[in-house]
Structure 1
Amino acid sequence: MDKLTEQKPGLLLRLAKFPLIFLAILYVVLTYLYLSGYFFRTSFTQGPMQGLAASAMTCAMMLIMYAALVYFIERRNVSELVVAPMAWEFGFGLLLGFGLYSLCILILIGLGVYRIEGVNAWQVLLPGLAAPLATGVFEELLFRGGVFRIAEKWFGTWIALLISSLVFGLVHLENDAATMRGIVSISIWAGVLLAATYVLTRRLWLGIGLHAAWNYTQGTVYSGIVSGNQAPTSGLIKSTMQGPDWLTGGAFGVEASVIALLVCTAAGATMMVMAVWRGNILPPMWSRARDGDAGAV
């Protein structure tokens, strides 16, 4: 135990440590950094490389502030951001995000729903890098590092999975073309899949990579609608999508498709099974207290 954790916290620190207050602080700080980074990137940078550098700087600031808040308010080591496995887990997450969305597209091609009309110049891939990276870091720190982790500490893994999935789905209601089908779909498959990356590894790097790559692949590679936002006009692949909304996802994008629901829920369930095998499932706080183990992951 270090000197920081040995010191008795004052009243303000004890209040800040209360879960809902801590989440509120985390939300305000991360949102401020994310929006500030977006404003700087879109207003003061020129060209994709400057935009990517600004996005990387924003991500670094969000990671640093998350770690600082956890260390100084929760008074614990920030194990979910341990650096040693970062490159491997983040890199595998990138491959997994690209692979899962590409699998959805391949299925839609096989069903005659998604049609490739041509390919744009590869340079269109560069401008789309910045936003998915920043969004992946922001949302994983907030929803998995914040909402899921704290809910799990109190209510255990399975209830936390339900809570964080509902919260993650509901925040997409404010998107331009949000639909109930899209909200329900993303709550189920994204809630399970992204939480599973954390439960499996007990770190955030895998989820950050997967989240960023999924959004990037969806919008910049396959020219799709991302979570009910406006469709990109200059993705790598020129395409058309025709079919019923339950297959295409409609105005919300492929994320509302039954294909994404099946493919990504299966991937998330597989990771949860692996997490069970590893003994990574946390029981509710009252069960741990009854068994004489009130510690938290």
Structure 2
Amino acid sequence: MKFVLQLLAVTAVAVLGNLALQAVDGSPWPALAVGVAVAGLAVVAYRQVVRATERRSVAELAWPGAARAAGRGAVAGVALFAAAIGIIAAFGGYQITGLGSAAGAVGLIGLMCAAAVTEELIFRGVLFRWVEVATGTWCALVLTGSLFGLVHLLNPHASLWGAVAIAVEAGGMLTAAYIATRSLWLPIGLHFGWNAAASALFSTEVSGNNTPQGLLDAATSGPMLLTGGDFGPEGSIFAVLFCGLATLAFLRLAARRGNIVSFRAARGTARAKVAQ
């Protein structure tokens, strides 16, 4: 019931927030305001429901150092996407023809802010944490990362390859970032930075979602493995490669810090909770 209540609370904010964003579609400043408000409400809802159901301080969303961790994550997310799109451009798969829509970029920042926070709270904050308690870190990483990729099959222009790419890039990298820090702020920042760069800055598709134009007027063309095709650069082999390397780096850091929970240790913790 604790798991269900936490999942319902954050999902409810995400669904209502999505409806609110749809209502202000095409209005950049209201979209920015709504997106930021949804993100803030989701954090408050998560903190309240976790504190109420688990009767503990919510260390994974601790306020001290939150801005620094989220900011570093955002910078890293932008840098990772810029590196991927730079390689795609070097091979002729991405061309900038001029300036796009500054207003569109503002609205996209709000949308991506809401998406990054709600998705991280649902998939890393609730799902990964609870699955890890039952199965250990490695199983939870594979299971929840795969689920994150499969969910993206519901998007327009989705494909099996796109789902695999998202499972590695987001399901793998963002979960590994959480494991390494045991804080949700870094993966939230990474998620936001990556999506904001893809949409608001470089004006590319985000997970095949028919993303509006951002700051640049640009186009992608070429083989699907290079550009990601209709799914967007997240389907590029270079995006998968860079995020895969980042995943390994985070997991190495997690192992050094002793943040990997074995299956045996997880089962022992689960039995102890049942006994209580």
TM-score (norm 2): 0.91
Write the deviation string for residues 185-219 of structure 1: whole angstroms up to 9, x where unpaired. 11123211000110111010011111112111111
Greater Cα shift, 72-81 or 27-36:
27-36
Contact 2:31 2:110 in 1 (8 A): yes
In structure 1, the residue matched to 2:74 is: 94
In structure 2, the residue matched to 1:227 is: 207
2:143 and 2:192 mapped to 1: Cα distance? Answer: 22
Contact 2:11 2:122 in 1 (8 A): no
> What letter is aligned with 1:30?
V
1:118 match: secondary structure: strand
In structure 1, the residue matched to 2:37 is: 57
* 1:282 corresponds to 2:261: yes
Contact 1:165 1:192 in 2 (8 A): yes
1:73 match: secondary structure: helix
Write the deviation string for residues 205-249 of structure 1: whole angstroms up to 9, x where unpaired. 0111111121111112111111111132x2212222221111111
> What letter is aligned with 2:221?
Q
By relative contact order (CA 8 Å, sep 6+), the higher-ranking structure is 2
Contact 1:228 1:252 in 2 (8 A): yes
The offset of 1:161, in angstroms, is 0.6
1:228 match: secondary structure: coil
1:129 match: secondary structure: helix
When Rg is computed on C-alpha atoms for both structures, the one with the higher figure is 1
In structure 2, the residue matched to 1:162 is: 142
Count residues in correspondence.
272
Greater Cα shift, 42-51 or 242-251:
42-51
In structure 2, the residue matched to 1:70 is: 50
Write the deviation string for residues 229-273 of structure 1: whole angstroms up to 9, x where unpaired. 1132x2212222221111111111111111111011101111111
1:49 and 1:182 mapped to 2: Cα distance? Answer: 31
* 1:240 corresponds to 2:203: no
1:96-175 mapped onto 2 (5 Å cutoff): 96-120=76-100, 122-175=102-155
Contact 2:205 2:233 in 1 (8 A): yes
1:168 and 1:46 mapped to 2: Cα distance? Answer: 28
* 1:184 corresponds to 2:186: no
Alpha-carbon spacing, 1:122–1:58, altered in 2? closer, same or farther (3 Å)? closer
Write the deviation string for residues 79-103 of structure 1: whole angstroms up to 9, x where unpaired. 1000001011000011011110000
* 1:38 corresponds to 2:18: yes
In structure 2, the residue matched to 1:207 is: 187
Structure 2 residues not aligned, in runs of 5+ = none
Contact 2:78 2:194 in 1 (8 A): yes
Structure with the bigger percentage of helix: 2
Contact 1:200 1:274 in 2 (8 A): yes
In structure 1, the residue matched to 2:243 is: 264
Contact 2:117 2:188 in 1 (8 A): yes
1:57 and 1:193 mapped to 2: Cα distance? Answer: 26
Structure 1 residues not aligned, in runs of 5+ = 1-15
CA RMSD, Structure 1 to Structure 2 (Å): 2.1
1:34 match: secondary structure: helix
Contact 2:102 2:214 in 1 (8 A): no
Alpha-carbon spacing, 1:126–1:164, altered in 2? closer, same or farther (3 Å)? same
The offset of 1:73, in angstroms, is 1.3
Contact 2:104 2:214 in 1 (8 A): yes
Contact 2:24 2:30 in 1 (8 A): no
1:246 and 1:97 mapped to 2: Cα distance? Answer: 21
Contact 1:288 1:294 in 2 (8 A): no
Identity among equivalent positions (%) equals 36
Contact 1:94 1:212 in 2 (8 A): yes
> What letter is aligned with 1:237?
L
> What letter is aligned with 1:113?
G
> What letter is aligned with 1:256?
G
The offset of 1:120, in angstroms, is 2.7
1:281 match: secondary structure: coil
